[in-house]
Amino acid sequence: MSYISEMASFEDQIKGVKSRFLKRSSDLIGLVVFKIADSIIEMSPVGDKSYWKYPESAPKGYAGGRFRANWDYGFNSIPRSQYDTTDKSGNTSRARVQSGFNEAFGMHYISNNLEYSQKLENGWSRQAPNGMVKLTAMKFSQIVKSALR
């Protein structure tokens, strides 16, 4: 075997290692992004008149779940959309994150642009008195460790 063919073989091995590393890193980042989004969405309160001080004040035809349906995903830019829909399960927002994620290496944003989102994050809801985003941020290392397993 010649020196040149040995070098080409070694180079191919290095390229293979790099390729596997990038794929695994991308998979890990995707899983972390999905787990973070899932945590935030799952902790998001869904309007329930039984928790309200004045349940009779609910607008006619009120259905909870608009906040949970408005989580959005952006890659390298903060999404600014608002959606006029409700989704108590959060599956609409989860699908939005999953369909938006297609590249691992960059900035990933999960945002909710409803006018009352900041109030909810700061304890406005009895269902989420400690917010959603800050609680998820506090368990970031736990999320990463879980994804690594």
Q: pLDDT by residue (tens digit) across 92-133? A: 999 999 999 999 999 999 999 999 999 999 999 999 999 999
Cα separation, 126 vs 130, in Å, equals 9
Domain count, the chain: 1
Residue of 46, 129, 136 whose CA lies nearest to 89: 46
**pLDDT score for 59:** 85
Query: Is 111 among the domain residues?
Result: yes
Backbone angles phi and psi of 138, in degrees to 5: -65, -25
The set of residues, in sequence order, having a beta carbon less than 8 Å from that of 87 and lying 6+ positions away, is 65, 68, 69, 93
Q: Which of 20-29, 55-64, 132-141 has the lowest mean pLDDT?
A: 55-64
The answer to whether residue 119 is domain-embedded is yes
pLDDT tens-digit profile of 2-21? Answer: 656 666 688 888 888 899 99
User: Is residue 8 included in any domain, yes or no?
Assistant: no
Q: Which residues of 63-76 are buried (b: 16+ CB within 10 A; e: fewer)?
A: ebbbbbbbbbbbbe
pLDDT digits (tens, 9 = 90+) for 16-51: 889 999 999 999 999 999 999 999 999 999 998 888
Q: Which secondary structure element, helix H or strand E, spans residue 36, and what is its range?
A: helix 3-43
Q: Is 129 contained in some domain? A: yes
Average pLDDT for 50-75: 90
CA 84 to chain centre: 20
Q: Is residue 40 part of a domain?
A: yes
Exposed (0-12), middle (13-18) or buried (19+): which is 120, by Cβ within 10 Å?
buried
Does residue 50 lie in a domain region?
Answer: no
Across the chain, what does the average pLDDT equal?
92
- The whole domain housing 114 covers 14-45+61-148
DSSP state of 54: S
- Is residue 54 in some structural domain? no
Asked if residues 95 and 72 have their Cβ atoms less than 8 Å apart, the reply is no
Domain assignment present for residue 35? The answer is yes
DSSP string, 121-132: HTT--SSSTT-S
